[in-house]
């Protein structure tokens, strides 16, 4: 069973701080990695995708991928109360259309004003 682990949480940070969310995965051959944000009572929405080792930045969000260590992380700079949500890590084994996207259980982030 290929797994995606998000074990830390819930996470609480003060407004303006950096929030660091971590995720590990078991399938060494995984190719595609996604971070989704889910507000309470809402459906998941994509905030970042990353496919290569290293960092990818988009505004206040940075995704970091290390395939050798099998982890992917999400950094949120200058955290805002509106960032308070559950963040889901999702991993796809290959780029094929038949490849299954597997989600972690999520980390709940609370940003304190």
Partner 1 sequence: EAGVAQSPRYKIIEKRQSVAFWCNPISGHATLYWYQQILGQGPKLLIQFQNNGVVDDSQLPKDRFSAERLKGVDSTLKIQPAKLEDSAVYLCASSSYGNSPLHFGNGTRLTVT
Q: How many CB atoms lie within 10 A of CB 28?
A: 9
Site for partner 1 in 65-94 (CB under 8 A): 88, 92
Single residue of 34, 64, 74, 76 touching partner 1 by CB under 8 A: 34
Among 29, 54, 69, 98, binds partner 1 (CB under 8 A): 98
Query: Closer CB to partner 1, residue 43 or residue 69?
Result: 43
The beta strands (E) that lie in the chain are given as 4-5, 11-14, 19-25, 32-38, 45-50, 54-58, 61-66, 71-76, 85-92, 102-103, 107-112
Which structure tokens are listed for 71? 């982890």
Write out the binding residues for partner 1, residues 44-63 only, by CB under 8 A.
44-46, 49, 51
The only residue of 42, 58, 66, 77 in contact with partner 1, by rule CB under 8 A: 42
- Residue 83, classed as helix, strand or coil, is helix
Contact footprint for partner 1 (CB under 8 A): 4, 6, 31-32, 34, 42-46, 49, 51, 88, 92, 95-106
């Amino acid at each position: 069973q290929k797994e995606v682990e998000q074990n830390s949480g819930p996470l609480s940070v003060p407004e303006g701080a950096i929030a660091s969310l971590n995720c590990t995965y078991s399938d060494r051959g995984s190719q595609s990695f996604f971070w989704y944000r889910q507000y309470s009572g809402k459906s998941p929405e994509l905030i970042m995708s990353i496919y290569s080792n290293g960092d990818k930045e988009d505004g206040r969000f940075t995704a970091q991928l290390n395939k050798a260590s099998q982890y992917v992380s999400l950094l949120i700079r200058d955290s805002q109360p509106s960032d308070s949500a559950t963040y889901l890590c999702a991993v796809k084994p290959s780029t094929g259309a038949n490849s299954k996207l597997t989600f972690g259980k999520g980390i709940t982030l609370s940003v304190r004003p």
